[in-house]
Structure 1
Amino acid sequence: VTVKLRSGQRPGELTGIELARRLAADAGVAAISLHPRHASQQHSGEPDYALAADLVDELEVPVILSGGLSSDERALEAFDRTGADAVMLARGSLGNPWRFERLLGLRDGEPTQGEVIDELRWVIERAEEHLGVERAGRYLRKFYPWYAATLGLRKRAAEPLVTAPTTADARAFLDRLSSGKAPALAA
């Protein structure tokens, strides 16, 4: 069993750290994943990597670092700075699953436009299989902005994708994009 938690609820409160200590010492968890921000911060503000480093030094179980790893460089820097056993990419990999390959040294550079389009088509198909066509269209709208960012689309150019009411509309946009018929793409 692994446990993922945050530093605490609010600044100045380290209930998550205290819980991590107890879980590692008394409950036999295999690893702790720490997002070194407080819950009240949500995803804003700087993570407290010094706090994470202290926990890594203190616990006998592996500590996995999460939170604030928005770029490959930040993930590697935080990994080195904290001495964590691993990093857990979450929101920072949405729309850009190629980050895993880059961080593992299996890939150099960003994906091509064609790779992103192919991946997004695959995601649309899987969502339709699991959710049905109608629900998939609504569900995927929250993911389209991340793919648009990976594609380097300007806000106006991405609008037909991020507001696509159906998966058919999203596919039609991807078809126009791959044929070069979508306007003003670069950010």
Structure 2
Amino acid sequence: MATPEKAAAVAELKDLFSNSNAAVLTEYRGLTVAKLMELRRSLGENAEYAVVKNTLTAIAAREAGVKGLNLDDLQGPSAVAFITGEPVEAAKSLRDFAKANPQLIIKSGFFGDSPLNAADIEKLADLESREVLLSKVAGAAKGALSKAASLFQAPMSKTVRTAEALRAKVEEQGGESAA
């Protein structure tokens, strides 16, 4: 029979899984408490980094209906970054922290219902943020609209230039015939 503490831990983990759109499973063996606090701060407001018990995490993931998490990676001292916001920013923070602190090992994770391995998380970290990508799309759309506007204006300005050239030629010929 489960103790009340374990049941509460499973319920808390289940809530974290349910409220997250992504999660990254890591091994933190050898990191000090100070380093773990530094990692938590670097993740920002949109992610929560929690040291977890492997068995309780597996139970909570199953109860929350998480399909993308590789439960075989739940071995050794494990911690999960539960991401509620932009997964790219959290993946960058984890990657950068792991480069500076090789004791942190990124194992796997999930985004939506899709499983992620360590290489996928690295690729996710290499992406630009949502804001940068949106601004690039907006810039491309603005450029396309600008080209379209100049194409629509071209026949009219060509007509005006042609009419002006004809007027100038008529005046020139009219001026010569009067002389």
- Which structure is richer in relative contact order (CA contacts within 8 A, separation 6 or more)? 2
**Higher CA-based Rg:** 2
Give the shorter-chain TM-score range.
under 0.3
Structure that is richer in strand per residue: 2
When normalised by structure 1's length, the TM-score is 0.21
Structure that is richer in helix per residue: 2
